[in-house]
Structure formats: structure tokens, C-alpha cells
Structure 1
Amino acid sequence: MTLGTVLLLLFCILICGYYYLRHHYAYWIVRGVPELRPRLFVGNLGGLLSMRSSPADFIGEMYNHPDAQDKPFVGIHVFYKPALLLRDPELIKRIMIKDFAKFSNRYSNSDYRGDPLGSQNIFFLKNPAWKEVRLKLSPFFTSNRLKNMFPLIDEVGRNLDAYLRQQPLHNERMRCFDLEAKELCALFTTDVIATVAYGIQANSFTHPNGEFRRHGRAVFQFSLKRAAEFTLVFFLPQLVPYFGFKVVPAESAKFLRDTISYVMAEREKSQKTRNDLIDLLIDFKRSTQQSKFVFDGDILVAQAVLFFTAGFESSSSTMAFAMYELAKHPEVQQRLRAEIKQALIASGGCVNQQLIESLEYMQMILQEVLRMYPPLPFLDRECTSDEGYSLAPFHKFCVPKGMPVYIPAYALHMDPQYYPQPRQFQPERFSSSNRKQHIPYTYMPFGLGPHGCIGERYGYLQAKVGLVYVLRNHLVTTSERTPRRMKLDAKAIILQAEGGINLRLVRDPLGV
């Protein structure tokens, strides 16, 4: 073949490819479904890939797009694949709860073979294995279990208080020192999850670069490569194996697998019980040996890894964002510290579970923080019904099996029709009387329906204990490095502050 013939052939292939994609991207127009106009190759993900804004803000831009206004849902393209973006709370209720059986899987996934610890945990696991694993893990979060683990959480809380009181003052006259709040809170939650779930003392306050903290940091430290990995996991999971991407990096996976497998083996050998996650996983392993699902090895370790990564990251982010908002709103912090002081007086200065559960204003604060800063800014599902799923009466379109569906949690939280003045921090939104006025299915920081976060109550408990011990002897204020307005990291699909959350703590004991 001559050079001219080769060039002509390539030109023809390009032209054919171009018109094929043009036809492919007409998917929603042909079906009469309102859409957000896609671009070739990237679909509607151009804003996400350019990193001009955070993933949370990007999803919000699609939700608030002029072509999406007043629509219950719109068609989008995640790269080449047609998908749906839901906007109407009633439709969200149908898909997430009422008709969950037809959307029982997340669309997102990692590589089953190359990343077993990332793909086989209950977050990514598919039905019917997901259902059995979740059923077996649920007892870890019963009221009785939370009561038994409270002394362990409280012990780490006391270590947090001691750590803060030992910090050298940067200004003796003002009795204050500066710190990065997210890292402080991650030290606390790493120690909590290590002792509560595994029976291990991570000692993060004395060894901030110890192995547990270092590997936990590696999972959620969003470099450009990590951003690419998570983007494919959530939007194009079919390609994850070809790129060798992982939710849990290889070095961290090895450390966590070796550690958890060793602890489980030692526990089985000694036959001692501690009523922690390791005991639960051992019971799980024994109870499923005769079932059609064999749960052993990595699938057990994967659940322990998820409890560690999700357990420390989501709670530490919530605590850190709460400290930021308290620093920016001293009147709210003053009222919260007064509530903590009264509770401590009533308990004789002892932090116990009854005290934590009595802190109604703190609960309101955390709920408002989670409205403004939900750990995951969107939820995803995949249609699993062989017959498809009719969207009537919203539209005649029938969702085909395998189509991804996205629920813009952050955008709903920031919609002024549901939460007036959404960018203002107002804990009173979640008072007992105001909560009754909320439109159902517009608030989902822990997800919704059967796939909702299994550890919601544990997460609240952990965050409350940590904040009590921070505020018991310290006042949180802003510093010269504190951003006036929070800017979210454009690389992080899991909500994170760009540049960290730098704050100042003033030594100011409550005197109880």
C-alpha cells in the first residue's frame, strides 16, 4: 500500500468513527429524554477531568444546569456510556428504597483480581454476596456492641485530650497553638478503629507516621494518579483492570492483609474473644463454610480493610469540618461548649455514653456539617433488572439492565428549595421541629436505603467523643492560614479541603 492509500484509509476510519460517536451520543435525543449535551469521547465528564472544580461542585453544576431545571431526571454520558442523573426526591426514593431490588448493586467497582481488598468489601460487593455479608456484619453495630466499645473509644479520647494539652504554646500570652485539624482528627480515628475493630494499639499520637496512619493516609491522599484511579472506579469500572488501578494501593494492601490475617490467626489459635470485628469475622467464616458462599481469605480481610479506611476517613473529615465551622461561628461553639459543660457537671466530670447521647446541639451541628460536607458527594446504582425499569409516570423511558444511575447528594444538600441559604452554617435546621419540615430523600450523607452506611451510629459516636475531648480544654479559633471560605480539593472524589484545615486552639478549660 502506498502512503497515500494509508492516509486515505486512516481518514476514512476517523470519519466513520466521528459519525459513529455522533450517532451514539444521540442516544437520549432519539428516546425523547431530556439530556445534558455531551462532548465527543468524554461525554459529560469534561468538567471533572479538567479539575477546574471539585467533583462535588462538578456534580452540582450538572444538577443545576439550565437544561436540567425542573426535570425529574436528565440523560448524561459517562464517557461513552449513557447514564441517568436523578433530581426528583420521589424518583430517588423509588430507585434507592421502594424498588431497591432492581437497583441493588452499585455501578462503581474495582478490579476483582488485581484489587481484591478494594473490590470485595460491602461497599463494592455485588448481590447476592453483598446481602449475606451485610447481614453478617450488621451485629457489629448493635446498641449493645456500641455500649461495649465505648470505653475503648473513650480511652482514645483521653489520649487525644492529653496530646493536645502537651502541645507547646506558640503564644504564651494568648495560650494558643496552631495545627492542621484533619490530620489531628485522623490520628484520633485511626487509633479508635484499630483498637475497636482489631484489638491493636496503633499509638498514632506518639507515632504519627506509624504504619496504620501512613497506610491509611495513602488510601485517601489524592494525587493525580489517585484521582484517575477513583474516577475510573466510579465512572468507568470496566477499564480499571486494564490500567492496573486499585482502590487500596499495593503496599497498603500488603500491610493490612498481613496485619489482619495475623490477628485473626492468633485469635483463632488462642480462642480468646474480645467482641470486636475480628471475632465477628471469625464467626462469619465458620458459619458460611457449609453455605454456597465461601467467605475466607481476602473477602474477610476486605471487610476489615473497609472498616479501617471508611471508619477513620469519614469521621475524621466530619470532625475537622465541624472544627472549621465552629471556629468560624464562635456563638455556635460557645453554645456547644456550654452544653458539654452542663453534661459534664451532671455526670460528675465523667465522659460516658449517656453523656454523649444527651448532646442534642452537638447532634444538630454534626448533621449540618454532613449536609454541607457529605463524605461522598454522589451515590451510584446500576439497573439489575432483566426486564429493565420503567420511569413512568415521570417518563415513558425504560432503564435498561446495566445502565448506571447517579444521585447528586451534595447538590441536593445545597439546593435552596430544600435548604434555604444552603452555604450558611445553621445547625438549627436540624432541631426536632425543623427536621419535620425537611423534604424526605433530600438528605443522604450516609447514603439511602439498604445500601446506606452500616456504621452511621458508630460514626456519630466516634465524632462526638472526639469533639468533646477537643472542646473540653480548648477553644477552636481561626488563624492567619484558615481559609475564609472552604475550597474543596479538585482531585478528591471523597470530599476533602484543599490545602488542609489550618486552625488555632486556645487553651481554655471548661473547668469540669
Structure 2
Amino acid sequence: MADLPRPFTAVLGEVDLLSWQGIGRVTLGLFALTVVRYLIIAVYNLYFHPLRHVPGPPLWIAFDGLRSIYKMRGILEFKYVEFHEKYGEVVRVNANEVAFIRPEAWKDIYGHGHAEFPKHFPGLQLDTKKIVFAHSKDHFRYRRAMLPAFSDKALRLQEPLIRVYIDLLIKRLREKAEIGESVNMVRWYNFTTFDLIADLAYGTPLQGLAEGKSNAWLDNIGNIIKLLPIMAFASVFPFFGIFMRFFAGPQIRNAEKKHFAFASQMTRDRIYHKKQPDRGDFMDFMLRSRGEPHEMTDDELASNADLIMLAGSETTATLLSGVTYWLLKTPHALKKVTDEVRQAFKSDEEITFDDTRARLPYMWACLQEALRIFPPLPLGMLRTVPDGPPVQIAGITIPAKTQVSVPQLAAFHSEYNYYRSRDYIPERWLPESTTDPNSPFFNDRREIHKPFSVGRRDCIGQNLAMHEMRSILAKVLWNFDLTLDESSNAWHHQKILALWVKPPLMVHIKQRAT
């Protein structure tokens, strides 16, 4: 013991380190040093860190890891809402993370005119062949190859393909209405969007609408979403990560490998064995990059088609579920939008992309309000301030290496930005609310509303998504009278694990009276 450093001997005393008493004292000493270490870090984070001037919850600032615990519980985004109510528009939510709900933060973080802030995905192993995870050079190449698939020309070619599935949805709902069954609209919206996106991406529907049941693809995506916060938690607590990799690692890797093999096979079948050439779907347009500097390899096409499946289907189905729920909870809005649709069209065959965009201004307001109160991507997309001098974000000086974001749920639910921010009020999006100073919504800061993000990495499929949502909602409202089942009265109380964890949305549907 004489050779041990004094701090250790002070804690351990003169004991035999191989005895149980010695092992106990060593453990106690290590524990004491760990506590001291965390206390020193906490003091530094609170009083000496470069971000000490930014207000926020002291415990979260002092101790990294609380964020991941709340994320794993599915309530992190709701805590952000609370923090912004308490501390203001700019909140330090972690030792090295700042969240902004000021409109100008969108441009300062995600927009053009400055060096790109790299994306930050804590705890995740990233497939950089996917456009959302790609480095800047590859991202530019992928985006150039993929954008034509979402152009106005492409949308006109894709509309007949999409209408097939919307009409099949109406047929299935009509069958349910005839036998008087309540319907889980989350399920049917998911079947519709996954079927149509699979057809556009691979030329192969998943048969969800045809068979009325889930499939391995849907189930696997749901499981991956639920694992995301656990992986993030493991990145903060390494011992937990080792434990998880030992017991669950092989199972997770096998599931991912199986899923990607399935997606790759569907991609190869679409590229090399297509039965319907030049059908104007996503793959047709992306394959036109072959032979060009921005061409995509087979593996890159497979990864991005897989991404399109999730981004182009789950989020659209989420918004359709949200707008249906909030309309059924808001009778005056439901009546007004239903009357608008039925007066605009004599039959549902007349409902087209162009006409729903031009002739249904109140339904557009209903969708915008749903995107605000129930954003399909409710979290903040983390970015890291690049190396170099501090930058100005929404008027606040932020040093390099800081994680920054605009958390959508907190921004869209804040009274700083919207009058009666927790209420579903489509009228706030009508022209008179923006031009009449007497409107209670005149001072709403609508420029904070960027549900598809902004800048070089905004959502390339947003126009398609809006066309889908307008057409599907219009056809449902034109054909059916809807009422909410009592079991779904509090449907909006949900957890968020990367995306909303949606329970069944039970709705009574009746064929409209002619």
C-alpha cells in the first residue's frame, strides 16, 4: 500500500487489496472518484462552459444523459415545449445543445448563405448512401439525380398511378361503411401510402389495401423506429451499449440485414426485370442519371428507394391521421371543409391534383393547421456548428461544435409564435388573417412554420406529399360522413420515438347521403 498514491490510500487505508474488504474499498474509491468527476463536469457545464449565458434547465445542462432518458421514454419533445415556455425562445437543453424557436433560426441553421452545418445523429450507425445521411458532395449528386422524380412533369405522370390506390382506399372504406364497422383510419392510411409509394419506387405494391393486413416491411419499419431512442441512449451510457450489443446486437443486425436484402432485391428487380418500362415512376427518373456525372449506383438506388418508402409513406399517413382526428374534434371546421369539397366537385372522379390545389382553399388551411399542431416530424433536426469562430443564430452567439436545432413541436406549439397555439384553428391560415389587423391571428409568426425544413437539405418530396394529402382527404370527405369513436377521444396524447407512436384512430364512417 505504501506505493499507492495518497488519494487512494486516504480512501482505502492499509488493507489487503485481494481481500473482500480491499475489493470493497477499491470499489468505493472508484465510485467516489466517479462522483467527483461528474461533479467537476457539472460545475464546469453550469458556470464555465462557453454556453453558460444561454438559459436552460440546470440539471439537464449539468448532466449529459437526461436528454436520452426522456427520449427513450417518448416524452423528450414535450419537455422541450415546457422548457421554451419557462426559459424563452432560446434554450440550452443540454451541456452542448441549444434549441431555437425564433423564425430566423431556420435560415441561420439550415438555410443557404453560410457554410453547411453538418447533421448530428447521436448514437446511430448511418447509411451514408441515403440522401439524408450523405456527406455534402454525395448529397448534391443524389439530390440532382432524384429531384426530377418529384418535378411537376413527374407528378403529372404519377397521378394515374396514385389514383389507383386512392380509389382502392375509398372502395375498402365503402365496404366497411356498408357493414357498419368502425374503422382504424391510421391503418388504412398506412396501407394506402405504403402501397402507392412502393409502386412508385419499385413498381410493386405491398398489397396492404388489397389484403387488408400488414406486411413484413411495415412491421420492420415500426420496430426500427422504436429502437432509435434506445440506440441513442446507448451512445450516452457506454456500459448499457455494451450490454445491448451483447444481447440484442445480433438480432438487430440480422433484422437490418434482412430488410436491406429485401429492399435491394426489389430494386434490382425493378431495374433489370421491369415489366412496365417508362411508366414515369421514381425509378424511371432516377435511372436517367445513368451515364451522367451524378449517376447513382445500384446500392445507392436501393438505399434511397428504401428511404423514400419511409419518408414518403409514414409521414404522409401520419399527417392524414392527424388532420382527420383534429377535424373530427372540431365540428365547425369539419362541416366547413366537407361543404367546400362537396360543392367544388360533382363526383369524386373530378378530384385531381390540380383541382384540389386550386379549388379547396379551406382544406389547404386545414392541412396547414394539422402540419402545425401535429407535425409528422415533431423533433428538431440537429446540426453542429462548424469549426471556426462563433456564429450568430437568431441574434445569439453560439460557439463551434455546439448542437443546434429548431424543435418543430415546441416551435409550432409556442405562444411566442401563435395565438391559441394549442388549439386547432384552420382560420389562422386564411388570407384575411394575414391582412386584417383586427384578426386575432394577424400577429402569428407564420414564418416559423417549416414542416418540410428549408435550405439545401429540405424535403424533396414535399410537393408530392401535399398532392397526396389533398387528394386523399378530399375523396374521403366527398364520399363519407365521419364521426369519432369515443375510444379515440384523446388520440393526440401520444409518445414520440423519432416519429409519433400512433394508437388506432377509430372512426365511424357512413356513405354520404345523396
Which band: TM-score by shorter chain? Answer: 0.7 to 0.9
Cα distance change, pair 301–57 in 1 and its aligned pair in 2 (3 A) = same
Match of 2:267 among 245, 260, 266: 260
TM-score by length of 2: 0.83
Paired position in structure 2 for 1:287: 292
Paired position in structure 2 for 1:84: 98
Matched, 1:29 2:29: no
Paired position in structure 1 for 2:230: 228
- Give, in whole Å, the separation in 2 of the partners of 1:433 and 1:42: 46
- Give, in whole Å, the separation in 2 of the partners of 1:46 and 1:109: 10
* CA-CA distance at 1:57 after TM superposition: 1.3
C-alpha RMSD of matched pairs (Å): 3.2
Measured against aligned partners, the alpha-carbon deviations of 1:42-64 in whole angstroms (never above 9, x if no partner) come to: 5441661572x633313222333
Matched, 1:45 2:49: no
- Give, in whole Å, the separation in 1 of the partners of 2:267 and 2:112: 37
On the 8 A contact 1:356/1:464 being kept in 2, the answer is yes
- Give, in whole Å, the separation in 1 of the partners of 2:492 and 2:317: 17
SS at match of 2:176: coil
On the 8 A contact 1:55/1:493 being kept in 2, the answer is no
* CA-CA distance at 1:295 after TM superposition: 3.7
* CA-CA distance at 1:227 after TM superposition: 4.3
* CA-CA distance at 1:307 after TM superposition: 0.8
Paired position in structure 2 for 1:275: 280
- Give, in whole Å, the separation in 2 of the partners of 1:233 and 1:10: 24
* CA-CA distance at 1:369 after TM superposition: 0.5
Report 1:141-152 matches (<5 A): 141-152=150-161
Matched, 1:360 2:346: no
Cα distance change, pair 46–441 in 1 and its aligned pair in 2 (3 A) = same
Report 1:163-174 matches (<5 A): 163-167=172-176, 169-170=178-179
Cα distance change, pair 105–147 in 1 and its aligned pair in 2 (3 A) = same
The amino acid of 2:509's aligned partner reads L
Paired position in structure 2 for 1:140: 149
On the 8 A contact 2:110/2:117 being kept in 1, the answer is yes
SS at match of 1:399: coil
On the 8 A contact 2:385/2:403 being kept in 1, the answer is no
Cα distance change, pair 392–226 in 1 and its aligned pair in 2 (3 A) = closer
* CA-CA distance at 1:460 after TM superposition: 0.9
Paired position in structure 1 for 2:14: none
- Give, in whole Å, the separation in 2 of the partners of 1:235 and 1:470: 47
Measured against aligned partners, the alpha-carbon deviations of 1:109-164 in whole angstroms (never above 9, x if no partner) come to: 7324xxx4xx5312222222112211221111111111111111112111111111
Measured against aligned partners, the alpha-carbon deviations of 1:299-337 in whole angstroms (never above 9, x if no partner) come to: 221110111111110111111111112222232222212
On the 8 A contact 1:108/1:235 being kept in 2, the answer is no
The amino acid of 1:254's aligned partner reads A
The amino acid of 1:2's aligned partner reads L
Match of 1:495 among 496, 500, 514: 500
SS at match of 1:159: helix
Report 1:238-387 matches (<5 A): 243=245, 244=249, 249-267=256-274, 272-288=277-293, 295-345=296-346, 349-358=349-358, 359-383=360-384, 385-387=386-388
- Give, in whole Å, the separation in 2 of the partners of 1:42 and 1:247: 31
SS at match of 1:85: strand
On the 8 A contact 1:379/1:447 being kept in 2, the answer is no
Percent sequence identity over matched residues?
A: 17
- Give, in whole Å, the separation in 2 of the partners of 1:96 and 1:451: 8
Measured against aligned partners, the alpha-carbon deviations of 1:364-419 in whole angstroms (never above 9, x if no partner) come to: 1111011011111122233352314323894554223xx32232111110012311
- Give, in whole Å, the separation in 2 of the partners of 1:233 and 1:453: 28
Match of 2:125 among 97, 111, 116: 111
Higher helix share: 2
The amino acid of 1:199's aligned partner reads G
Paired position in structure 1 for 2:391: 390
- Give, in whole Å, the separation in 2 of the partners of 1:59 and 1:98: 26
On the 8 A contact 1:56/1:410 being kept in 2, the answer is yes
- Give, in whole Å, the separation in 2 of the partners of 1:259 and 1:131: 25
SS at match of 1:38: helix
Paired position in structure 1 for 2:169: 160
The amino acid of 2:201's aligned partner reads A
Matched, 1:430 2:429: yes
On the 8 A contact 1:106/1:382 being kept in 2, the answer is yes
On the 8 A contact 2:72/2:230 being kept in 1, the answer is no
- Give, in whole Å, the separation in 2 of the partners of 1:103 and 1:234: 22
Paired position in structure 1 for 2:26: 9
On the 8 A contact 1:54/1:493 being kept in 2, the answer is no
The amino acid of 2:508's aligned partner reads R
- Give, in whole Å, the separation in 2 of the partners of 1:385 and 1:478: 49
Measured against aligned partners, the alpha-carbon deviations of 1:441-493 in whole angstroms (never above 9, x if no partner) come to: 42122123222211111111111111122222211101232224621125x22
Cα distance change, pair 508–15 in 1 and its aligned pair in 2 (3 A) = same
Cα distance change, pair 378–505 in 1 and its aligned pair in 2 (3 A) = same
SS at match of 1:202: coil
- With 226-235 and 304-313 compared, the bigger mean Cα shift is at 226-235
Paired position in structure 2 for 1:185: 189
SS at match of 2:220: helix
Matched, 1:472 2:490: no
Paired position in structure 2 for 1:456: 462
On the 8 A contact 2:68/2:232 being kept in 1, the answer is no
SS at match of 1:391: strand
- Give, in whole Å, the separation in 2 of the partners of 1:88 and 1:61: 16
The amino acid of 1:256's aligned partner reads A
- Give, in whole Å, the separation in 1 of the partners of 2:509 and 2:111: 43
The amino acid of 2:424's aligned partner reads F
Which structure 2 residue ranges, 5 or more long, are not aligned? 1-16, 436-441
The amino acid of 1:215's aligned partner reads W
Paired position in structure 1 for 2:445: 439
- Give, in whole Å, the separation in 1 of the partners of 2:176 and 2:204: 25
* CA-CA distance at 1:36 after TM superposition: 2.3
